[in-house]
Structure 1
Amino acid sequence: MTPDLLRNIAVFAEVAKAKSFTKAGLALDLPKSTVSRRVAELEREVGLRLLKRTTQKVELTEEGQNYFASCRRLLEDVQSAHEELISARHRPRGHLRVAATVDFGLRLVNGLTRFAAEYPDLVLEFDFTTRRVDPLTENYDVAIHIGAPPDSGLTAKKLADVAVHVYASPDYLAGHGRPLTPADLSAHACVLEGRLHQIGIQNTWTLTNGRRRVEVDVKGTLSFNSIGIIRRLILGGAGLALLPESICRKDVEAGRLVRVLENWSAPMLPIYALTSTRLMPAKTRTFLDFVQANL
């Protein structure tokens, strides 16, 4: 790839993004005539019209849309390589806006003081919410998403797969008996998860044992969009619940909770970080490294 071709691609991408030769020229600090010339050179090079020009607006042709999508990824990779070299010499700094659930934030609390001390030039702003956040349109650097990521133009980076099991307190099991098969769950009080992952109240639990997979209808009068509150309730004997293994481990070791149906588990729960682009500055990469280490 010649330097001229790379420059022309970069100019075309800016025009495609701005839908304007004038705005692209301002963004690139180039005269409008130079912007137009470079796009024309690129069209001659590929032998196709990439843009439809009128006196009022600039639109992409179908070929231009496909070409822009490919060029954008190419330019992001080039910029990412450049950013990695720059960030190797500079500490993460600036303002980082993160959207996540309260429960997820609580899992990071113990390490945040150390993280903040290690990166004093980085300001972290957390917005705790259970709704689905779009980092691109809502001006977030990172949105933590529990479950399979939405089908969108966002970049999804998997942070972890979380094991999920059925738990209850010893007191509840002493008073109501211990389920021996997944079907037994239907006769028990269950504390349900409600709208934590935008899927409504989980009245059906899916459990797997090797290649075996069953779906069980469960019932309960309590539902919450907070894993932390569900855990507190079953510690008090409210019933059975599906909970991440990681937040129950200490309770199980201390005898406060018991894993029931030991051979059965819910499907692994993936956790993703959603960003508006694959091009992540040092502040975002450093934060996500910290999150992965704490998960």
Structure 2
Amino acid sequence: MKPELLRNVAVFVEVAKARSFTKAATALDLPKSTVSRRIRELERDVGLRLLKRSTRIVQLTEEGMNYFASCRALLEGLEATHDELLSARHRVQGHLRVAIPTSFALRLIDNLPAFAAKHPELHMDFDFTMRPVDPISENCDIAICFGEPADSGLTARKLADIPMYVYASPAYLAAHGEPAAPADLSAHTCVLGTRIDHVGNQGVWRLRSGRRRAEVVVGGTMSFNSVGIIRHVVQAGGGLAILPEELCRQDVREGRLVRVLDDWSAPPVSAYALTATRLMPAKTRAFLDFVSANL
């Protein structure tokens, strides 16, 4: 559709409603000559006379009446859609689709009911996944991922840098001893994450303490793509693992896990929220603010 067609239709509808070029010009804040010219352009485009003009009154032709009914409904629908979008910009409502790793969702789950109660017109649909999700091709409002996102044209908002440490269960340490230095890890069974650089059942753990750096080849018989599952396996005595501090904090307090190599840490993992654009409706902005406030 040519832009001038929609513009001329809007002028025609205003003239038809007012039955006056002068009143329509006032309502549209246009010169009367401009209103007349746009009506002539529209009649030329459709090839029909739409209005009967006289010095005192403007009347619709039969074709003009039919055209007016259709165009008025079209413009009212367009205006309603525009108002709905403006409402979505400022009102938290509708359907929000979020792709999120399970381990990250666990950091939010306790406060999620309060967020839902605050926004009763919002329905949230969560997809728990570790795989990369493209918000555009997969019809997703927000995709939360770990690690630096690829340069894909998406909008990336950094949410947090998550501290990572080495943990084990008290039972495992009682049976196998506690490593005193990073090099000792190579003699232990380690539970690996599939995002760690590894080949087969061996992985490379990179640790740091101040300016010191250590790179240790570790081995294990199990690899998982879920940090939550790795945590449970470690709790059950399955070996040592690099895990997020936040996820393990309560386990350490309650004696289910022990942080080993206290002076050493793995590189923090960055969490990002990916969206299709920076122009986000209120529902998306509200959820991202909720996530940031609860990390």
TM-score by length of 1: 0.68
Deviates more, 1:152-161 or 1:187-196: 187-196
In the TM superposition, residue 103 of structure 1 has moved relative to its aligned partner by 2.2
- Is the alpha carbon distance of 1:218 and 1:285 closer, same or farther for their aligned partners in structure 2, counting shifts above 3 Å? same
Map residues 157-168 of structure 1 onto 2, 5 A cutoff. 157-168=157-168
* Distance in 1, Cα, partners of 2:110 & 2:202: 30
Task: Indicate the percent of aligned positions where both proteins have the same amino acid.
Answer: 61
- Contact map agreement 1:130 1:197 (CA 8 A) in 2: no
Structure 1 residues 201 and 97: CA distance shift in structure 2, 3 A: farther
8 Å CA contact 2:198–2:204 kept in 1: the answer is no
**Matched residue of 2:262: which SS?**
coil
Deviation digits for residues 206-227 of structure 1, max 9, x if unmatched? 1111122221111000111111
> Partners of 1:143 and 1:193 in 2: how far apart?
20
CA separation of 1:25 and 1:215: change in aligned 2, threshold 3 A: farther
Is the contact made by 1:149 and 1:156 (CA closer than 8 Å) also made in structure 2?
yes
Structure 1 residue identity aligned to 2:145: H
Q: Which has the greater radius of gyration?
A: 2
Calculate the TM-score normalised by the size of structure 2: 0.68
Shift in CA distance, 161/264, structure 1 to aligned 2, threshold 3 Å: same
Q: Secondary structure at the match of 2:111?
A: helix
Supply the distance in 1 between the matched residues of 2:275 and 2:96 (Cα, whole angstroms).
12
Asked whether the 8 Å contact 2:183–2:216 carries over to 1, the reply is yes
| Equivalent in the alignment of 1:124 | 124
Correspondence for 1:135: 135
Contact 1:248 1:257 in 2 (8 A): yes
Q: By how many angstroms is 1:91 displaced? A: 3.1
Aligned match of 1:151: 151
Aligned to 1:186: 186
Deviation of residue 30 (structure 1)?
5.5
Which consecutive unaligned segments of at least 5 residues does structure 2 have? 9-85
Shift of 1:102: 2.1
Q: What is the 5 A alignment of 1:225-236?
A: 225-236=225-236
* Change in 2 beyond 3 A, CA 1:125/1:134: same
Taking a change above 3 Å as real, the CA distance of residues 247 and 216 of structure 1, as seen in their structure-2 partners, is same
Matches of 1:168 and 1:270, distance apart in 2: 23
The code of the aligned residue for 2:230 comes to I
List per-residue Cα deviations over 1:153-196 (Å, max 9, x = no partner). 01100111100000001111111111111111000000110248
TM-superposed CA distance for 1:197, in Å, is 10
Distance 1:198 1:158, change over 3 A: farther
* Structure 1 range deviating more: 200-209 or 97-106: 200-209
Residue 264 of structure 1 corresponds to which residue in structure 2?
Answer: 264
How large is the RMSD of aligned CA atoms in angstroms?
2.8
CA contact (8 A) 1:190 1:240 kept: yes
AA aligned opposite 2:142: V
Match of 2:30 in 1: none
